[in-house]
Amino acid sequence: MLGIGIFGATGRIGKLLIEALQKDKEANLSCIYVRNELQYSIPQGVLVTNDINVFLESSDLIIDFSSPEATKLLLDTAIDRCPKPIVIGTTGLNKMQNDLMISASQKMPILYASNMSKGVVVLNKLSKIVSSALKNSDIEIVEVHHRDKKDSPSGTALMLAKTCAEARNLNIDNVRISGRDGMIGKRSDDEIAVMSLRGGDVVGRHSVGFYLDGEYIELIHNATSRMTFANGAIDVGKWLSKQQNGLYSIEDALTI
């Protein structure tokens, strides 16, 4: 049995990971890290700790859905004390945190995915094809998430924008805009717009539009349950536990 430790266990995704692992036949919940007292009951035999060293030592694999600051703490400790395979689902990492993840992957296998759903992997592949095939189309990406989401645009929308840009040999940092307001003038040809809407309890909606004169294509993915992300993270975790040190993407783990 693969013993999985959950980092961010009291969060929306963390709680679902705990639920999903109770039904899993190949992996179980070994340990959860909590900063403060736990407000809900967890299965017997699972270690609950606020000591990251103990947490790392008690798990074969870590799944992280927390916050960028917490992910940094986890990676710093893993590098210094106890390298373990880590699946990172936390989004909104800044450049420094992203660089830390890259250097940590020299000491342990790490899989980073801003979206753990198989459907989004397919959406990303389709976006690449359409961006390249319809080179003159105007690309507009819209993401919708629940009112509590902290980062914007979503990590998934940024990934989709990067994929579309690279399919046209463009650097996303030079062509992305994430807002329009006032007398902004004509849309530029290379521009890739990424717009964020926030409201209610929307789990996650991403649309990638390719607009031409006389026709357009819109590719849309809707996540209707957060359990999709929890199950996806556990699936790629089982794969990651058998890999060498290195940084992996969800595409590496799935055969789609």
Burial class (CB in 10 A: 0-12, 13-18, 19+), 119: middle
Cβ 88 vs Cβ 111: under 8 Å: yes
| C-alpha span between 236 and 111 (Å, rounded) | 8
Answer yes or no whether residue 77 interacts with ligand NAD by CB under 6 A.
no
Burial class (CB in 10 A: 0-12, 13-18, 19+), 31: buried
Answer yes or no whether residue 32 interacts with ligand NAD by CB under 6 A.
no
Among residues 118, 128, 149, 238, the one annotated as catalytic is 149
**Cα distances (angstroms) measured from residue 214 to each of 40, 134, 217:** 55, 13, 11
Distance of CA 191 to the CA centre of its chain: 24
Contact map string, positions 131 to 170, toward ligand NAD, x by CB under 6 A = --------------------x-------------------
Answer yes or no whether residue 92 interacts with ligand NAD by CB under 6 A.
yes
Q: Is 221 a catalytic residue?
A: no
Q: Which residue type occupies 47? A: L
> Three-state DSSP class for 94?
coil
Answer yes or no whether residue 229 interacts with ligand NAD by CB under 6 A.
yes
Binder of ligand NAD out of 30, 58, 91, 137 (CB under 6 A): 91
**CB nearer ligand NAD, residue 23 or residue 35:** 35
Kindly state the smallest distance separating residue 29's Cβ from ligand NAD, in Å. 15
Nearest position to ligand NAD, beta carbon? 11
Q: Is 206 a catalytic residue?
A: no
| C-alpha span between 174 and 192 (Å, rounded) | 9
Q: For residues 10-29, which are near ligand NAD according to CB under 6 A? A: 10-14
> Three-state DSSP class for 109?
strand
Phi then psi dihedrals of residue 20, to 5 deg: -65, -40
Kindly state the smallest distance separating residue 150's Cβ from ligand NAD, in Å. 7
Among residues 15, 145, 162, 206, the one annotated as catalytic is 145
Binder of ligand NAD out of 105, 114, 163, 207 (CB under 6 A): 114
Region near ligand NAD per CB under 6 A, out of 2-10, 54-62, 96-104, 123-131: 2-10
Catalytic residues: 145, 149
Kindly list the residues in this chain that would bind ligand NAD in the complex (CB under 6 A). Answer: 8-14, 35, 65-67, 69-70, 89-92, 113-116, 151, 229
